[in-house]
Structure 1
Amino acid sequence: MPTTTSFGTTHDGTAVQLYTLTNAHGLQVSITNYGGTITSLLVPDKDGKLSDIVLGFDNVSGYQSPEYLKSGPYFGALIGRYGNRIAKGKFTLDGKQYTLATNNGPNHLHGGQKGFDKVVWQAEPGTSADGQTLTLSYLSKDGEEGYPGNLNVMVVYTLTNDDALKIDYSATTDKATPVNLTNHAYFNLSLGQSDDVLEHEVTLHASRYTVVDDTLIPTGELRPVPGSPFDFTRPHHIGERIEQVPGGYDHNWVLNPGSGDGAHPAALVYDFASGRTLTVTTTEPGVQFYTGNFLDGTLQGKDGITYGKHAGFCLETQHFPDSPNHADFPGTILHPGTPLQSTTVYAFGVRK
């Protein structure tokens, strides 16, 4: 069974826990029920040395500090009800306009002022045929952060014995509502040895991306990537063309559909220094590739590491940003009687 330890107390006096899952090869992931947050992930390098590859803190206080809340990086957190942005915090559903918090410039981001990243989830550690598990559940009540419907959410983390972190998302609602669930882990496959991820080599299984305006809201255009710095259909280092993208990468790639409705490849990341690889598969239609552009060195995490610009990258599997306002994007409206089911797998390996 996973181990359970104290992770401190929230500002309102709620005690929260840290659950550590271990697999047959010694890989470990630690997750707190505060925000469903992945706080550490130990995987081996090419020499077999286990070390942490995600950004985060060693106590809940780190995730509640004024500096953290001001910068809002969402390290490792579960994101909802709606991951990514909704333009001007407004959408219309069944003839009624809903107004959400505008907490990212003029737009709504990652569920609002108190999204799923800032709530305490019910947690149940366990085991399955695939490995140790942590089941998190949360009831988002009708009207919470402006969203309609009572939304029951369950997220199951499984650390599999074939060296992958599997995340199964499910949800039901009693009223139609937009839902877009994801995880916001920041990876650095040489964390502690390299200050940034610019030398990481990335492949994205996507031939188009969503063009955005200067507030990062999609214009509606799904632009082919060939001939642009958004073309990762073949491997490229993150830093190779990042200067050609104003602000850095923070865009949704339209994943190439797989066969059937099952999981399809999303990304492959390789870090030459450590030999580590990260392979992402998902049932989601998109992935937000974000390169830590807003990190500025004001946050110090585990082991005294300061998180500067590009200290980590995110691969947030998702439906597209602002989908409730784009009828031609894959739908994000969850209806009563039709449960949401989504799975993303982050698999780890090495190249010698």
Structure 2
Amino acid sequence: MPKLINRLLHCMLLICSAVFIPFVSASNFTVEKEHYGKLDDGRVITKYTLIGPQIRLSAINYGGIITSIEVPDKYGQMDDVVLGYDHLQDYEHRNRYFGAIIGRFANRLENGKAMIDGNVFEIEKNREPHHLHGGSIGFDKVVWDANPKVTNESASLILKYLSKDGEAGYPGNLHVTITYTVTSKNEFIVEYQANTDQSTIFNPTQHSYFNLSGNHGDKVDDHFLTINSSNYLPLTKESIPLGIVSSTKGTPFDFSVATKLASVFDNEPKELVDTNGLDHFWVSKEQRGELTKFAELTHPKSGRKLTVFSTEVGGQIYSGNYLTPSVVGKYNTPYQQRSGICIETGQYPNSPNNSLPTVVVKPDETFYSKTIHVFSYIKS
């Protein structure tokens, strides 16, 4: 009941304060546009809602942040299944990366360095002594040009940004296009495309925290996780990959079959002490390019299932290890440790500084990556 009351109050406030504009419409798909707020410097931020028959996704042009994804449970009840904030000011000032685009390079770069074509570049050390998630003003902290698109089978939001040469220390003017699409198959698709005028590294990802129960105050411990992988990257105590690939067999990182998350956390394995939970990279295939299944997350009580496919070699799984009740999210809900779980597809973290393959985009190339999130139900 408290959950329902909070949601009703939240919706009433939004209705009273926002003006909805049916911006683009075609058949079963619509994009709504509304004023979301102003940044401290006065720039106006807009929210776009992509609406399909059984999926509703809202995103803002600040950080490309996904503020909500609503999908039905096994009874047809629509719920928001991602964490986030109610207000723009929280997204601007509280750095949890809720729902944000991460770039240029996701995860950590050791000692703020990156080897590119034989040259060492000094990258901003925003998480001393290392670089994290693109820097203090990464893709999650910039305003993107946004344009909606609707067809009979989908609704999309096309986001564009020019990351200038030297931004956070990265070389090259990088023209980035990221497209969010919802489809009639209950898919949420993320496509990344980029071109540069100078060789540079690029490893973007999407940082939504999922909680398929729809109750953001609950932990995801009752979710089941499957990862299409038998290998992971071991870490130093500072969460830097050692540059080697290890087998998951006989470790807490073996999710080759559906595993209840509580069964992992309750055992308090020593391998998870330094990271306070899951915050590791799983290797799903040797080379990027082919679209393959990476992971599956299920919540038996609601019946919701999320299946993730990607062109990338693997992904980082982060179990919201540092969320606390001091972080008050949407619907006035205090979060707790493991209120959400991130499935961040991408390339090997810190790969410009070790022997693992990395992605260097050259001036005569176009970078392309695709991740598909499919929402469905557990078969009874």
For this structure pair, what is the TM-score category when the shorter chain's length is used for normalisation? Answer: over 0.9
**Corresponding residue to 2:40 among 11, 15, 35:** 11
2:236 and 2:242 in contact (8 A); partners too: yes
1:120 aligns with 2:147: no
Q: Greater CA radius of gyration, 1 or 2?
A: 2
Q: Which amino acid aligns with 2:149?
A: G
Per-residue deviation at 1:271?
0.4
Q: State how far apart, in whole Å, the 2-side matches of 1:147 and 1:261 are.
A: 24
Counterpart in 2 of 1:340?
Answer: 367
2:216 and 2:339 in contact (8 A); partners too: no
Deviations, residues 258-306 of structure 1 (Å, cap 9, x unaligned): 9x94200000111012110000000010110000001122111111111
2:165 and 2:171 in contact (8 A); partners too: yes
Per-residue deviation at 1:257?
5.5
CA pair 233-279 structure 1, distance change in 2 beyond 3 A: same
Identity percentage of aligned residues: 40
Give 5+ residue unaligned stretches, structure 2. 1-23, 25-30
Deviations, residues 74-101 of structure 1 (Å, cap 9, x unaligned): 0000000001110011123234321122
Per-residue deviation at 1:135?
0.1
Deviations, residues 180-214 of structure 1 (Å, cap 9, x unaligned): 01100000001326511011000000110011101
CA pair 261-145 structure 1, distance change in 2 beyond 3 A: closer
Q: SS of the residue aligned with 1:206?
A: coil
Q: SS of the residue aligned with 1:92?
A: strand
Report which stretch shifted further, 116-125 or 304-313.
Answer: 304-313
2:73 and 2:303 in contact (8 A); partners too: yes
Counterpart in 2 of 1:282?
Answer: 310
Q: SS of the residue aligned with 1:64?
A: helix
**Corresponding residue to 1:36 among 53, 59, 64:** 64
The number of residue pairs the alignment matches comes to 344
Q: State how far apart, in whole Å, the 1-side matches of 2:90 and 2:109 are.
A: 27
Q: State how far apart, in whole Å, the 2-side matches of 1:94 and 1:261 are.
A: 22
Per-residue deviation at 1:151?
0.1
Counterpart in 1 of 2:125?
Answer: 102
Per-residue deviation at 1:223?
0.5
* Structure 2 counterparts to residues 127-142 of structure 1, below 5 A: 127-128=150-151, 130-142=153-165
Counterpart in 2 of 1:270?
Answer: 298
Counterpart in 2 of 1:292?
Answer: 320
Q: State how far apart, in whole Å, the 2-side matches of 1:321 and 1:338 are.
A: 22
**Corresponding residue to 1:87 among 85, 106, 110:** 110
1:287 and 1:315 in contact (8 A); partners too: yes
Q: Which runs of 4+ in 1 moved over 6 A?
A: none
Q: State how far apart, in whole Å, the 1-side matches of 2:174 and 2:40 are.
A: 25
Q: Which amino acid aligns with 2:246?
A: R
Q: State how far apart, in whole Å, the 1-side matches of 2:245 and 2:328 are.
A: 37
1:130 and 1:158 in contact (8 A); partners too: no
1:173 aligns with 2:162: no
1:251 aligns with 2:274: no
Q: State how far apart, in whole Å, the 1-side matches of 2:73 and 2:347 are.
A: 32
TM-score normalised by the chain length of structure 2: 0.88
Per-residue deviation at 1:231?
0.1
Q: Which amino acid aligns with 2:129?
A: P
Counterpart in 1 of 2:21?
Answer: none
Q: SS of the residue aligned with 1:218?
A: coil
Report which stretch shifted further, 238-247 or 289-298.
Answer: 238-247
Q: SS of the residue aligned with 2:76?
A: coil
* Structure 2 counterparts to residues 304-323 of structure 1, below 5 A: 304-323=332-351
Q: SS of the residue aligned with 1:139?
A: strand
1:127 and 1:133 in contact (8 A); partners too: yes
Q: State how far apart, in whole Å, the 2-side matches of 1:87 and 1:130 are.
A: 43
Counterpart in 2 of 1:23?
Answer: 52
* Structure 2 counterparts to residues 93-242 of structure 1, below 5 A: 93-128=116-151, 130-192=153-215, 195-242=218-265
Q: SS of the residue aligned with 2:234?
A: strand
TM-score normalised by the chain length of structure 1: 0.95
1:57 aligns with 2:80: no
2:99 and 2:208 in contact (8 A); partners too: yes
Q: State how far apart, in whole Å, the 1-side matches of 2:244 and 2:211 are.
A: 31
Counterpart in 1 of 2:6?
Answer: none
Q: State how far apart, in whole Å, the 1-side matches of 2:279 and 2:64 are.
A: 23
Q: Which amino acid aligns with 2:49?
A: T
Q: State how far apart, in whole Å, the 1-side matches of 2:341 and 2:235 are.
A: 19
Q: CA RMSD in A?
A: 1.4
Q: State how far apart, in whole Å, the 2-side matches of 1:191 and 1:163 are.
A: 17
